[in-house]
A and B are shown apart, each in its own frame.
Chain A
Amino acid sequence: MTKIKLADSKVTELKQVCAKFDNQKNELINILHGAQELFGYLPAEVQEIIAQQLSVDVAHVYGVVTFYSFFSMSPKGEHPISVCMGTACYVRGAEKVLDEFKRILNVKIGETTPDGKFSVSSLRCVGACGLAPVVTVGSKVYGRVTIEEVQQIINEYQ
């Protein structure tokens, strides 16, 4: 694993996040949310600091991080693309839309394009089933997406 260097100011902020929850270990998940908001992802170094602040084993923190799909250990793309794979979207063809994103960007689920621009993931139900199939790019939601529209959506961010 490549070591990354965290800026001191960010480390201070991270410690403040922990302190906000009184360094309580039962607040670990809330703290991880805060940390991911801060860094965009949860690299090993961040988990080590959290473990230290909360006086828990880093293996425990890692065990929790890898349990929940919301937490990521690799940075997301500049424009994170998520394809909803809830049932409603699935029966309306979300899998084909996802395949098209993977094909055009040449990445697998959870991966980021080499230029760091796009990452592709699937998620479970954004609750916009009326618009199925649904794709989100960042916070923007695209509804009733067809395979033909995939390239257009990508073009918007090129």
Chain B
Amino acid sequence: MAKVKTLEDLKRMRESLQSELSLRENSDTPEKLVQIKVSMATCGIASGAKETMSFIMEELYRRKIDAVVTQTGCMGYCHSEPTIEVQLPGADPVVYGNVKKERAQLIIDQHIIAGKLVDGIIPGIYSTPDNK
């Protein structure tokens, strides 16, 4: 990684990273750019988030669905770990709780492939400094 030498470097880097992200988000080829985040903090991992994440990755690979699966930190829903966030292009992200293998399978079949929501969505009910 090249070092940033000035604040301007950092800002340019941020802009390009942001546009990359938004390109990803605004694409209209959903098969390729489904985004899935798996909450991988201690409580998530303790509840099986790792197994869930590898299952999702394998399953998507098997079905040849190009998706970006990443780990992220705690979403705060300890009552429903493992938690994942699914975002189809152009749609709002949807958070699902208690996602073990079976539910992961269901989410892939119904939400990602069929575009239907699955029971057990966790409503996002907070604001952040950016969307306030």
Contacts and interface: CB of A to CB of B under 8 A. Distances in A.
* A–B contact (CB under 8 angstroms): yes
Nearest to A142: B46
Contacts of A134: 46
Nearest to B76: A130
Contacts of A138: none
Interface residues of A, number: 9
Interface residues of B, number: 10
A141 B77 CA distance: 18
B85 interface: no
A126 B44 CA distance: 12
A141 B118 CA distance: 28
A153 interface: no
Nearest to B74: A127
B78 interface: yes
A86 to B, nearest CB: 12
B43 interface: yes
26 contacts: A126-B42, A126-B46, A127-B42, A127-B43, A128-B42, A128-B43, A128-B46, A128-B47, A128-B78, A129-B43, A129-B78, A130-B43, A130-B47, A130-B79, A130-B80, A130-B81, A131-B43, A131-B46, A131-B47, A131-B78, A131-B81, A134-B46, A141-B45, A141-B46, A141-B47, A143-B46
